[in-house]
């Protein structure tokens, strides 16, 4: 008996949806659960490098999936 398991990560399309919603509204909902995602700012870059990345880590309190992205670029890196 084969059962289809749901992916433990958001798909690329779901990640893009979350990033676009967060960029537009400052908040986003989980594309799988419809629950509001919790945002956590993550600093980055090293002291003395002359740049600092600003990342957001959005997590779903229901299904525990998450996405991290660079706010300025709108991408993971």
Q: What Å distances lie between residue 2 and 5, 9, CA to CA?
A: 9, 21
Q: How confident is the model over 14-52, as pLDDT tens digits?
A: 999 999 999 899 999 999 999 999 999 887 655 555 556
Q: Please state which CATH number belongs to domain 12-70.
A: 2.20.25
pLDDT at 63 over 50: yes
Give yes or no for a contact between 69 and 19, defined as CB atoms under 8 angstroms apart. yes
SS3 22: helix
pTM: 0.73
Q: Which residue has the higher pLDDT, 28 or 6?
A: 28
């Amino acid at each position: 008996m084969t059962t289809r398991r749901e992916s433990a990560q958001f798909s690329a399309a779901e990640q893009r949806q979350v990033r676009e919603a967060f960029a537009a509204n400052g908040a986003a909902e989980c594309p799988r659960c419809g629950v509001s995602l919790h945002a956590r700012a993550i600093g980055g870059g090293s002291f003395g490098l002359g740049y600092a990345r600003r990342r957001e880590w959005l997590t779903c309190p229901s299904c525990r999936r998450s996405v991290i992205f660079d706010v300025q670029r709108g991408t993971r890196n």
